[in-house]
Amino acid sequence: MKNLLAITLSIFSLIAFAQVGINNSMPKATLDITAKTTNGSKPEGLIVPRLSGDQIQAGDAQYSSDQKGLIIYATSATASPAGKTANITAEGYYFFDGSIWQKIINTASGDATATAKGIVQLAGDLSGTASSPAIAGNAVTSAKILDGTVANADLATGSGGIYKDSGSLSGNTTVTQGANTLAFTSTATNGFSVDGTTFSVDAANDRIGIGTASPNTTLTVNGIISSGLQTISISGTVVNRSVVSATTNFVLPSAVTNAGAIIYTRNINTSGSITVTTVAGLMFNGGSSGSTSSYNMNSNDQTKTILWISDGVNWTAITSNF
């Protein structure tokens, strides 16, 4: 009789208050569970239903909006995640939102630290996890980083291409190298060029083209080469000038230290002759094997211009009517 009375009172309590207490007689919620022991002698807690991902998937038809908020523990990932179980890709707690299972993940306040545990899922232009993010292919199709928001951003290391399409500068740009080097490496026949054929580097054959993108020698110039007028002084500074008196001479620089140099001298004065000498080396007439240490440029209308070429030892004069 006493047991029957206790059961009757318990049922009446459930009906009256619609609350259930486990290990307590004063439940403060719909279900209030109190630990049976507090000394660690027994495991205490609540175990929700545990099913494998495939077992949960097998019951897809049983879950609808009526089961919204349901919690379950997946003991393994679904072999072929799809439909309502598309998110069950790892062991853990999941809740049903009325249409699909969602993973219950840890949330943290403040900034994550290097010792943070778990996986931070990313979405939007960044996907994957915080430790291994992937940038969407169309992440920067529009100006998502405005001018001035990124400054002095250096890449410590990297590989692969840095630029794959053409573009235009929006303003004047200066690269200040300081003591740093700037090198271009290529194996292409037109590996580096300026304005098409204005300047072209054939990196495959170590050639340079000016006015052409197909140089066939070390330096190929498709056009006329000119040199500004300069004055040759007694110190050997390379320049060409007009003689104003018979006592003015031209002094060529050292043929030894200026190998390959081409210099022309011209006397446009009709009343005075000048003498051409050199700082180092001899001077040869291109039309003979003889050499001398000086040449005379006459004031008459015969010898007015001489072209000098250095072979690294001496100067050779190319002219007529010496």
| The pLDDT of residue 239 | 43
Q: Are residues 264 and 304 in the same domain?
A: yes
Predicted local confidence at residue 56, as pLDDT: 95
Compute the distance between CA of residue 97 and CA of residue 93 in angstroms, rounded to an integer: 13
Residue 32, classified by CB atoms within 10 Å of its CB into exposed (0-12), middle (13-18) or buried (19+), is: middle
Is 93 within the bounds of a domain?
yes
- Number of Cα atoms under 13 Å in the Cβ half of residue 237: 8
Residue 314 located in a structural domain: yes
Q: How far is the C-alpha of 90 from the C-alpha of 176, rounded, in Å?
A: 52
Provide the pLDDT for residue 10. Answer: 52
How far apart are alpha carbons 75 and 272 in whole angstroms? 108
Between the CA of residue 82 and those of 57, 78, 99, 267, what are the distances in Å? 9, 9, 12, 93
Q: What is the pLDDT of residue 147?
A: 59
Taking 70 as the pLDDT cut, the residues of the chain under it are: 1-17, 106-132, 134-164, 227-248, 267-272, 286-291, 298-304, 319-322
pLDDT digit string, tens, across residues 32-51: 889 999 999 999 988 999 99
Q: Considering the domain boundaries, does residue 229 fall inside one? A: no
The whole-number pLDDT of residue 266 equals: 72
Kindly state whether residue 31 falls inside one of the protein's structural domains: no
Question: Residue 316: what pLDDT?
Answer: 87
What's residue 46's pLDDT? 87
Are 306 and 265 spatial neighbours (Cβ–Cβ below 8 Å)?
A: yes
> Do 307 and 254 lie in a common domain?
yes
Which helix (H) or strand (E) segment holds residue 318: the answer is strand 315-318
Give dist(CA 255, CA 210) in Å, integer: 27
Q: How many domains does the structure of the chain reveal?
A: 3
Residue 177 lies in a domain: no
For residue 236, the one-letter residue type is: G
Q: Residue 13 domain-assigned? A: no
3-state secondary structure of 6: helix
Q: What is the pLDDT of residues 103-137, one digit of tens each?
A: 998 665 555 555 555 555 555 666 666 666 766 66
Residue 60 forms part of a structural domain? yes
Domain with 301, as residue range(s), is 250-318
Task: Show which of 221, 240, 267 is a domain's final residue.
Answer: 221
